[in-house]
Amino acid sequence: MKKALSLICVLVLLLSVAMPVSAAAADNAPERSVSVEYLDDGSYFVIEVVQNSQSARASYKSGSKTATYYTASGSAVWNVTVYGEFTYTPGVSSKATSSTATVGIIDRNASFVSKNAYTLGNAALANANVKYLSESVSKTVSLRCDSYGHLS
């Protein structure tokens, strides 16, 4: 009986220690938001913003914004991602400190033409140009940080 009681106590202790750890791991997961921008020809961009979990520095934020181009029939063709880092003073101001761009080609009929990344005030920006079926498609993606560290 003592062994069973000891085993139950050990299990309860282990579970009570493990639960806060798993809850903390969930808090560190990046925040994601998705929206859609429709174009006149029926094609569209799916926009995804990823806010990285809070860093040790409370006045620092990083994340990414990806625009994926889809045909009117729903086939993914290419995407552009801007990765940005920001500093902010809560409730006062924010500033983009770095910007990096990547372009991904998904459809074999698309080909990379150019990309550019830069910062402007509180925004990290990326511009990409891709040729798809003999047409040029370009997209500028802007990742902004407000004075409270929220990315959009």
The predicted model scores a pTM of 0.78
| 84: exposed, middle or buried (Cβ count in 10 Å: 0-12, 13-18, 19+) | buried
**For 82-113, what is each residue's pLDDT tens digit?**
999 999 999 999 999 999 999 999 999 999 99
Across 40-55, average pLDDT: 89
What's the angle, vertex CA 32, arms to CA 37 and CA 89, rounded to 5? 105
pLDDT(122) > 80:
yes
Which pLDDT score is estimated for 1? 46
Across 59-69, average pLDDT: 95
Which pLDDT score is estimated for 132? 93
CA distance 152 to 107: 28
**For 11-33, what is each residue's pLDDT tens digit?**
344 344 333 333 334 455 678 89
pLDDT(116) > 80:
yes
Strands 135-144 and 123-132 come out as antiparallel
Mapped onto helix, strand or coil, the DSSP state of residue 3 is: helix
Across 40-49, average pLDDT: 95
Is 78:68 a contact under the CB 8 Å cutoff?
Answer: yes
Across 109-133, average pLDDT: 96
DSSP tag of 128: E
The Cβ-side half-sphere exposure at 13, using a 13 Å CA radius, reads 6
Which pLDDT score is estimated for 28? 59
Token output for 62? 């990083």
Is 142:82 a contact under the CB 8 Å cutoff?
Answer: yes
Which one has a higher pLDDT value, 71 or 25? 71
Which pLDDT score is estimated for 24? 38
